[in-house]
Amino acid sequence: MLKIVTAITGASGVIYGKRFVEEVNRLGHKQTLLITEAGEKVLSQELDLSIKKDNPLASIQAEWDLSRPDLISREKIDDITAKIASGSRAPDAVVVIPCTMGTLARVAHGFSSNLLERVCDVALKENKKLILVPRETPLNQIHLENMLALKKMGADVVPAMPAFYNHPRSISELIDFVVGRVLDHLQLEHSLYQRWKGVHDNDDK
């Protein structure tokens, strides 16, 4: 069982974060959720999810498809005293999905102004898996240089770019492809998308 920190920022495409949380939960791994203030606003705007201030986790447990809600906890984004802020309690992996370019830039340059950025810093210094899923287009030079810097540091940059070789029939299939690629980088088995089998065989379902 892996211990994963899943972070949702204010980038458009929070559905990727939702599906990732659901699938990791279905696979039976522990997750600690971090959601930025902007992430909460986008969750409300794109998914009609209202985070309850008195019980933030309750909204997610009630509305998302979670087979094991007991495997999910949540930390406050500004609580730098949380256990996961320490290298001695580093999770197995940190996944920021979706990741704003602002968050990506601050992680690339070592800023730790909140728990999310600190956890990413911990992942890098402790040689743990760090996966960032940016959802931005077009990309400017700063974006590209920051992504290159993070890759050189050992992070995985997995842009939210769905494939079309498997003839997706719905938006859900496009989303699942991206989530599946993130799971691939965590070496977690799944069946979210059809893998490439060659030109002649890939139409076989």
**Annotated binding site for dimethylallyl phosphate: which residue ranges?**
165, 181
Structure token pair of residue 54: 């008195």
* Pairing, β 129-134 against β 93-99: parallel
Binding site per annotation, positions:
10-12, 36, 100-103, 135, 165, 181
Q: Give the DSSP per-residue string, 46-83.
A: HH-PPPPSS-HHHHHHHHS--S-GGGEEE--TT-TTSG
3-state secondary structure of 137: coil
Contact 106, 116 (CB under 8 A): no
Contact 28, 68 (CB under 8 A): yes
Q: Give the DSSP per-residue string, 85-118.
A: GSGGG--SEEEEEEE-HHHHHHHHTT--SSHHHH
Structure token pair of residue 61: 């447990």
Binding site per annotation, positions for FMN:
10-12, 36, 100-103, 135
What φ, ψ does residue 62 adopt, rounded to 5°? -80, -35
The secondary element (H helix, E strand) that includes residue 20 is helix 14-26
